[in-house]
Structure 1
Amino acid sequence: MIIRSGGSAGVGDKGEGGSEVWGSGMDVSSPYIRFFLGGRLVFGPDIRALFLTLFLILVPVALFCAFVSRGLVDAFPHRLGYLIVAISLIFSALIVILLLLTSATDPGIVPRNAHPPDADDECETSSISTSCLGSQTGPVSLPPMKNVTVNGIVVKVKYCKTCMLYRPPRCSHCSICDNCIERFDHHCPWVGQCIGKRNYRYFFMFVSTTNLLSLYVFVFCWVNIKKIMEAHHCNIWRALVKSPASGILIMYTFVVSWFLGGLTAFHLYLIITNQTTYENYRYRYERKMNPFNLGCARNFKDIFCTGMASSRINFRAKVNADRSSSFNASSYLGGGTTTNSSDMHKMKNFDIEVGRRQAVDIDECKETDSQTRSSVGGVGADRCEG
């Protein structure tokens, strides 16, 4: 993934003290991120998983409305059967909306740096801030970890070689999306997106609401079987033969409810204790103090009753047409201009994660250098020599 600026203040612009800063018009150009509606919708790499998830949700509801609801409409007086069907449709619409919100929301992508941060930066003595994360100058020899203070407790933050920044507390790099995600919980294959700071509440509401719909269909399929048994004076097996859709949905929703019920309970526990799935797996806070736990009430408030944090990246920023297929060469060669993306594969031997030099073929170096010298000011030769 390449992050570049589409605004007036972009990569290579100078901020206070001569340090490079990120402008307000940032954009992400990546095969791992998919944009729709001019950047209003930001999907993960496996967007096709959405269609499978929608299929697994909507097909059972369609079977319920098409076959099971007939018996319920006839069995219940005063049009209560129609109300039962309407509630299932409302649940389904809400679930689809929550699924799209979960999948199409920026989970909290942290913009990459154009250069490694300054090794002399003293951010480790205090809580990490945006200015600390955005430093983009200095040598590439950096400590792998820093100590920062969170609510009076010292925690370690790691340096991300791919994004060339010290991750904020609770941030982790997703190997599937290839991005650092704030308050990283996990990468969910069912929604095709990372679950992080900005879409966790939608994810929890999606899972819990889908579980409620599954239980709802499960209960009323049994009610339908019971009504058939009473109307035809038959046993349960004959009733299942008369309404095979009820039997199929009972088995399906039973399995789904066990899975989603356990997942809902697990995430309720995480919310109460202010943990993420990643932290629960890696750190086991019951063995030591959790610096992020503010108490049950405040933990719930932080998840459900606070405004959504602003995205660090302006996905709707305009990018010039002549730059739409280019990437920032300064991330790799130390310059401030761009090189055509068709030449990007020729630079694959450079260690772009930490700016180190790797052993490369000298002929390939010379070819790459000749193509980039005019735009980068001759710095390519320094990379290839030696």
Structure 2
Amino acid sequence: MYSPKLQRLRAVDSSSRLRVYQVWKGRNKFFCGGRIIFGPDVKSIFLTLSLILIPVILFWAFVAKHLISLYSHGGGIILVVSSVLLTAYIIVLLFLTSGTDPGIVPRNPQPPDLDDDSSGLSTDWGGSQSSACGVPLTKNVSINGIVVKVKYCQTCMLYRPPRCSHCSICNNCVERFDHHCPWVGQCIGKRNYRFFFMFVSSTTLLCLHVLFSCSINITSIMHKKHCSMWMAIQQSPVSGILITYTFVICWFVGGLTTFHLYLISSNQTTYENFRYQYDRKMNPYNVGIARNCMEVFCSKMPRSRNNFRALIKGDSPVGLYKGPTTDVEMGRRRGIDADDFEDPRNRIGNLGRLERCRTQPRHDHLEERRGNWR
């Protein structure tokens, strides 16, 4: 049982140690003490939010009131309430997509051992070149009877798992890398692809919802005033602006939704579709449309490989981690215990005493030589 004073000292010592997210070598932005991870371009989320919220707020402020009065039986209220719920749902999906670990593969502390065959991968020694540390740049792995090459990442010092790629923007290897999305400011990978697709498809539904509601509003004005569509738009200019805006956006997000539906049905990623073009050769990951869709929508989200809030091993003060930055980049830095410094300190002290003992005779010898010169 520790005394209260010792417990306070241990608490201070623990709080002074660095956590993983504080020395993370990627370009990610961490918030809430490492609980939330964003990409380096996190500010782009505010642009995306403005593109969603500003039109919806205009819809609520200038169109919703007319719709509620138009349908006295409650149809207008349903249109307005459904738009509120759908907008809230989209915002939640946006932050889930942007603030979730996309599937970052932890870096190795050192290059892999050439004699380590535990991964079950066979090295293609004949056809692959070697990296600076002598590790072959590619290895072969069999997936559903098809041999696939996996590459060695010299930054993360590991053989990337199948379908993994290194994002140059985030500076991380990401599992099932799809692409880096500038609109959400995050990589899209194994752990947040489902959120991303739901975000894009829900945004498409919201655009169609606003487009449909504003069209109803314009049509009702035309029938009520017995005027042309141009005159009706002059009566409700916000409706005309929103119809034009949502029509244009629908082509973008709707096309993106359709494209990702194709990728899901064929079990491809955006990176694979543009890089490998699996439609021209056999796709080793395609297991049928039903199973491909179940893999994306019905599978359990894998746990993150990283514990960003974990304390760095060792009890060293914070300042000790600022020095060997290059060693960390090469993956060779380790936690240093305070006890490890005791023996070097003693050695340094002994060396100092020996140096002082050696300098005294040299000092006398110099004085003697000066006397001879005189």
- Establish whether TM, by shorter chain, passes 0.5: yes
* Structure 2 counterpart of 1:202: 195
Matches within 5 A, 1:275-314: 275-314=268-307
- Alignment root-mean-square deviation, CA: 2.4
Structure 1 counterpart of 2:46: 51
Aligned partner of 2:240 in structure 1 is 247
Change beyond 3 A, Cα 1:59–1:327: farther
- Summarize deviations over 1:310-358 as a string: whole Å, max 9, x none: 111002223574466566654467865579xxxxxxxxxxxxxxxxxxx
Counterpart CA distance in 2 for 1:333 and 1:240 is: 63
Of residues 250, 254, 260, the one that matches 1:261 is: 254
Query: Equivalent residue for 2:109?
Result: 114
Structure 1 residues 124, 313: CA separation in 2 closer, same or farther (over 3 Å shift)? Answer: closer
Shift of residue 86 of structure 1?
Answer: 0.6
Letter in 2 for 1:105: T
- Unmatched segments (≥5 aa) in structure 2: 1-18, 124-131, 337-347, 349-374
How has the CA–CA distance of structure 1 residues 215 and 177 changed in structure 2, closer, same or farther, with 3 Å as cutoff?
Answer: same
Out of 264, 273, 276, the residue aligned to residue 271 of structure 1 is 264
Q: Which has the higher helix share?
A: 2
Residues 316/145 of structure 1: CA separation in 2 closer, same or farther (3 Å cut)? same
Equivalent residues in 2 for 1:192-231 (5 A)? 192-231=185-224
Shift of 1:304: 1.1
Deviates more, 1:83-92 or 1:186-195: 83-92
| Distance of 1:211 and 1:332 partners within structure 2 | 42
Partner in structure 2 of residue 41 of structure 1? 36
Return closer, same or farther for 1:326/1:262 CA change in 2, 3 Å cut-off. Answer: farther
SS of 1:110's equivalent? coil
Structure 1 pair 298–234 and aligned structure 2 pair: CA distance change class (3 A): same
Q: Is there any run of 5+ residues in structure 1 with no aligned partner, and where?
A: 1-24, 129-138, 340-373, 375-386
Displacement of 1:224: 0.2
76, 84, 90: which is aligned to 1:81? 76
Cα shift at 1:53: 0.2
Secondary structure (helix, strand or coil) at the match of 2:210 reads: helix
What letter matches 1:306 in structure 2?
Answer: S
Q: Out of 49, 59, 67, which is 2:62 matched to? A: 67
The share of aligned pairs that are identical, in percent, is: 58
Distance 1:166 1:321, change over 3 A: same
Residues 125, 147 of structure 1: 8 Å contact kept: no
Q: What CA deviation, in whole Å up to 9, does each residue of 1:235-274 have, x standing for no partner?
A: 1111000100001000100010011111001000100010
> Number of aligned pairs?
307
Runs of 4+ in 1 over 6 A off after TM superposition: none
8 A Cα contact 1:115 1:331, kept in partner: no
Q: Is the 8 A contact 1:110 1:181 kept in 2?
A: yes
Query: Which residue does 2:179 correspond to in 1?
Result: 186
Structure 1 residue 96: Cα displacement:
0.0
Matching residue within 130, 145, 156 for 1:152: 145
Please state whether the residue corresponding to 1:109 is helix, strand or coil. Answer: coil
Q: Which has the larger radius of gyration?
A: 2
Q: What SS does the corresponding residue of 1:154 show, helix, strand or coil?
A: strand
For 1:63 and 1:205, locate their aligned partners in 2 and report how far apart those are by CA, in whole Å.
Answer: 24
AA aligned to 1:278 is: Y
**Equivalent residue number for residue 351 of structure 1:** none
Gap change, CA 1:154 and 1:226, over 3 Å in 2? same
Question: 1:71: Cα distance to partner?
Answer: 1.4
What amino acid sits opposite 2:96 in the alignment?
L
Amino acid in structure 2 at the alignment position of 1:214: C
